[in-house]
A and B are shown apart, each in its own frame.
Chain A
Amino acid sequence: MGKYILESNALCVGYGTKRIVDDISFSMEAGDIVCLIGSNGAGKSTLLKTLAKMIPPVSGSAKIDGREIGHIREGELARIVSCMFPASPVTEYLTCLDIVENGRYPYTGMFGTLSADDREKIASAMDIAGVTELSGRYFHTLSDGQKQRVMLARAICQEPKLLLLDEPASFLDIRYKLELLDLIVSLAKEKGIAVLFSMHEITLAGRIADRMICIKDGKVDRMGTPREIMRSDYMERLYDLKKGSLEEGVLNGIF
């Protein structure tokens, strides 16, 4: 087993034979926080879906815990990788507790009976994500932001080595956005979970990310520390902004 949780080499992601992002090479160790940035439709979600084994890679290699994703069975992968997707589940009569309990799926037996240990982990994950009071509420009655926090609790109690978060903060208000960032840092630095996430609020993401991967025009345009990436001239190019429209101070304000 190598030291990398995630290792991609000349990976090309897309749908079928359609190439969305080409030549992605990067690696993550335990405790790394990496943020994907790029404009809408750049292919951030496609990359995350590929790493979650939702879609097969078009070409190249993606290794999780030292093994090619395609060779890891779903049940086993679920104990290494947990995810949060942009769309929350649509349910009828499931409570938030039911949803979070689903995170223990890879660890329970044939009929999904929860042990005392499982229940403890569920309670602690709900506590960490701040959704303990929502426990008995029906999931479909929650606001979008509350749903995101419940889904985060589910992802945490799955006890992953690698956490993939696709737009985890899109519906959160500023307070919960900041809490989410703190949470990601503590998961990474205290529990050693590698976190790969995409986020549109680049200034916020830049505060916690060890590295940022910028995707543009079907390839990895640049990769580096937030200090290297977050420059107004580069941001203007990445997001096709007019020159001078992004003031240097806005980006610098975060450091």
Chain B
Amino acid sequence: MKTDNKRRYDLSFGLLFVLLAVFAILNLSLGSVSVAPGEIAKVMAGGESGSVSFNIIKEIRLPRLFGAMILGGALSVSGFLLQTFFHNPLAGPFVLGISSGAKLAVALAMTLALGGGFLINSWFMIGAAFLGAMVVMGFILAVSGRAKNSAVLIICGIMAGYFCSAVTELAITFADDQNIVNLHSWSQGSFSGLSRANIKIIALAVFVCLVFVFIISKPMGAYQLGETYAKSSGVNIRMLKVSLILLSGLMSAIVAAFAGPVSFVGIAVPQMMKGLFGTEKPAFMIPATFLGGAVFCLFSDLLARLVFAPAELSISVVTSILGAPVVVWVMLKKRLGRRA
């Protein structure tokens, strides 16, 4: 039994790493200008700077690759934390409106800052997004305190999401002409336009979050048995709940600040990983959802860039098409499981 499980975990992690490598190479090499894998290796090794392929790889594709990987991973882990918190496999930062809340706050901060003529840096964006995420989270928590029905929770989240998106559109409509184009593509969700400086900040912020997520992995596991049993095992419930909220909110906020809304990754990836690994133990699910999210977003970004090239799809178009069926599958599985 024990060895069977271990073999499954090893194979699953192996599969994820292979997919990650394959999609990473495809993402670097394919596009309006194709760069052969051999040349990529040369560029990575230092290569001759100044050449076209060097600039494309180093300045455009590599930051975008890391952006998609790290932000996709962060978003999936955030979804896993929310699913654990709400004991609901359909919870996720996008469905609960948390991403949209973050997006709204960033849009407001950006339009105000642009209007006022002062510059905003990455940390300020994360801060604004986090604030927006927490406001929606507060609303969701208030709802979940009153309504025990999980469908009510999800519907309120979706409504909060629509509300925030609508207000975001309003804010963008009234934004300064010059910046509309920029804001508009961001508000649709995209991994493009990230600078290497952005990536450094993203990597640092997400890494810090992940360290804390690992620290709470043990109480999270106990919490999967329900609050009562977790408490009787000795879990400090309040501390755990606050940590889950802050960490999931912060990670969704980082994603929203840099890539805008990216839908369904937060629900779909944890579900697929639970199915692939056959477990929901946090010790495996945290690395698995991060890797799975990275793979999922690399693949989605590849499609977003290539399918209608040179036109580019917004990332949410692709993640929705891939992710929404997973949500339906989860719902049906739950329903059928209950009947059986």
Instruction: Point out residues on A near B: beta carbons under 8 Å.
Output: 52-54, 74-79, 81-83, 85, 87, 89-95, 97-99, 102-103, 105-106, 108, 110-112, 135-136, 140, 158
Contact partner of A83 (CB less than 8 A), chosen from B87, B232, B277, B337, is B232
Determine how close the nearest CB of chain B comes to the CB of A125; give it in whole angstroms.
14
Determine how close the nearest CB of chain A comes to the CB of B56; give it in whole angstroms.
42
List of B residues within 8 angstroms of A85 by Cβ: 228-229, 232
B274 at the interface (CB under 8 A from A): yes
Contact partner of B225 (CB less than 8 A), chosen from A76, A89, A97, is A89
Residue of B with least CB distance to A136 = B1
Residue of B with least CB distance to A53 = B231
Name the 7 nearest CB pairs between A and B, nearest first: A78-B234, A105-B233, A75-B234, A112-B218, A93-B280, A89-B225, A136-B1
The answer to whether B278 and A105 have CB atoms under 8 Å apart is no
CB contacts under 8 Å to A, within B146-201, are none
List of B residues within 8 angstroms of A111 by Cβ: 214, 217-218, 283
User: Which one of A74, A75, A91, A140 has the highest number of Cβ atoms from chain B below 10 Å of its Cβ?
Assistant: A74
List of A residues within 8 angstroms of B89 by Cβ: 92
List of B residues within 8 angstroms of A106 by Cβ: 233-234
The answer to whether B280 and A92 have CB atoms under 8 Å apart is yes
* Assembly CA distance A92 to B22 (angstroms): 31
The answer to whether A98 and B218 have CB atoms under 8 Å apart is no
The answer to whether A78 and B232 have CB atoms under 8 Å apart is yes
Determine how close the nearest CB of chain B comes to the CB of A132; give it in whole angstroms.
10
Interface size on B, residues (CB 8 A): 30
List of A residues within 8 angstroms of B229 by Cβ: 83, 85, 89, 102
Residue of B with least CB distance to A89 = B225
* Assembly CA distance A89 to B337 (angstroms): 16
13 A-B pairs, CB-CB below 8 angstroms?
A: A77-B234, A83-B232, A90-B87, A91-B280, A92-B274, A93-B279, A94-B280, A99-B225, A102-B222, A105-B218, A105-B234, A106-B234, A158-B233
Residue of A with least CB distance to B218 = A112
The answer to whether A102 and B226 have CB atoms under 8 Å apart is no
Determine how close the nearest CB of chain A comes to the CB of B226; give it in whole angstroms.
5
Residue of A with least CB distance to B4 = A136
The answer to whether A74 and B1 have CB atoms under 8 Å apart is no
Determine how close the nearest CB of chain B comes to the CB of A199; give it in whole angstroms.
20
List of A residues within 8 angstroms of B235 by Cβ: 74, 105
* Further contacts, 15 of them, CB under 8 A, given A78-B232, A136-B1: A74-B231, A74-B234, A76-B234, A77-B234, A81-B232, A85-B229, A85-B232, A92-B280, A93-B280, A97-B1, A102-B221, A102-B229, A103-B233, A105-B235, A112-B217
Instruction: Knowing A94-B224, A102-B225, say if A135 contacts B1 (CB, 8 Å).
Output: yes
Determine how close the nearest CB of chain B comes to the CB of A179; give it in whole angstroms.
23
List of B residues within 8 angstroms of A52 by Cβ: 232
Residue of A with least CB distance to B214 = A111
B236 at the interface (CB under 8 A from A): yes
List of B residues within 8 angstroms of A108 by Cβ: 218
Determine how close the nearest CB of chain B comes to the CB of A203; give it in whole angstroms.
29
Determine how close the nearest CB of chain A comes to the CB of B86; give it in whole angstroms.
12
List of B residues within 8 angstroms of A81 by Cβ: 232
List of A residues within 8 angstroms of B337 by Cβ: 140
Instruction: Knowing A78-B232, A78-B234, A97-B1, say if A90 contacts B221 (CB, 8 Å).
Output: no
Contact partner of B236 (CB less than 8 A), chosen from A74, A82, A90, A99, is A74
The answer to whether B226 and A90 have CB atoms under 8 Å apart is yes
Contact partner of B221 (CB less than 8 A), chosen from A79, A87, A112, is A112
CB contacts under 8 Å to A, within B315-340, are 337
* Assembly CA distance A102 to B215 (angstroms): 17
List of A residues within 8 angstroms of B283 by Cβ: 111-112
